């Protein structure tokens, strides 16, 4: 089962992270957290790992609508967007597929919100891809 939508671009890792953050902002998403997986694994385990960031993206309007319908939905938020260096020297940007994420909830009232969030995440990915 595919649970993300991904693109691959040629660019510097940090530039792609910045472009992704800007593209998300243009679609109404704030990045609530930015987890540097590489630095965390190095610090906590002494392990080397590829450049890898997890951006916790949230659109407050859609989060509010969804939690009005399903109060426990907060356990599945925010929408994660990952940026990582691939094995070929490129950078992958991958966003969670909201319909797959929300399929565990079984609440049809969330479908329109999931569709709109998916459209906006797709648009953000297209913006990043077009920048490279």
Domain count, the chain: 1
pLDDT digits (tens, 9 = 90+) for 57-106: 999 999 999 999 999 999 999 999 999 999 999 999 999 999 998 889 98
**pLDDT of 18 over the 80 cut:** yes
Q: Which domain holds residue 96?
A: 4-131
- Name every residue whose Cβ is closer than 8 Å to that of residue 72 and which is 6 or more positions away in sequence: none
Nearest to 82 by CA among 91, 73, 72, 70: 91
Say what the pLDDT of residue 1 is. 65
Tell whether pTM > 0.85: yes
CATH number at residue 45: 3.30.310.70
């Amino acid at each position: 089962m595919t649970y993300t939508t991904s693109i691959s671009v040629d660019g510097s890792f940090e530039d792609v992270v910045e472009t992704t953050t800007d593209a998300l902002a243009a679609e109404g998403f704030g990045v609530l957290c930015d987890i540097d997986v590489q630095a965390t694994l190095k610090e906590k385990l002494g392990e080397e790992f590829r450049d890898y960031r997890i951006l916790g993206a949230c659109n407050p309007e859609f989060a509010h609508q969804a939690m009005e319908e399903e109060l426990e939905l907060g356990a599945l938020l925010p929408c994660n967007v990952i940026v990582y260096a691939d094995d070929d020297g490129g950078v992958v940007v991958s966003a969670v597929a909201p319909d797959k994420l929300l399929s565990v909830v079984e609440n049809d009232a969330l479908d329109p919100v999931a569709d709109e969030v998916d459209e906006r995440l797709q648009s953000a990915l297209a913006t990043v891809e077009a920048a490279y």
